[in-house]
Amino acid sequence: MVKVRVKYFLWLAEKAGCSLEEVSLSNSSLLSLLEHIKASRPRLSRIIESIIQSRSEVIVLVNNVSPKTLTVELKEGDEVVFMPPVSGG
């Protein structure tokens, strides 16, 4: 099992019902984490599905780096961040 920290920012935290959580995974890929969140956080399911299908503007970072693929392996203590797109004026 691998335990990772997950952070949700702005309106994603509201939909998730929290801004921070720790998730334990038996399969440690980013895709496995996304599937876990999709199943455990129903209000995020459509957003997570759009991330899986590469149709989302939500920014996903693993240890402050944008992963090139969803098959990236997560390690104990990694931090995964979900941020909505930011626009300014």
Residue 14 within any structural domain of the chain: yes
pLDDT digits 0-9 by tens, 58-79: 999 999 999 999 999 999 999 9
Domain span at residue 69?
A: 2-83
Number of domains making up the chain:
1
Query: pTM higher than 0.75, yes or no?
Result: yes
SS3 69: coil
Report the largest interatomic distance among the alpha carbons of the chain, rounded to a whole angstrom. 44
User: CA quadruple 67, 4, 20, 12: dihedral positive or negative?
Assistant: positive
pLDDT for the residue 89: 58
Alpha carbons 2 and 40: distance in angstroms, whole number: 17
Mean pLDDT of 6-30: 96
Residue 89 within any structural domain of the chain: no
Alpha carbons 32 and 48: distance in angstroms, whole number: 11
**CATH number of residue 11's parent domain:** 3.10.20.30
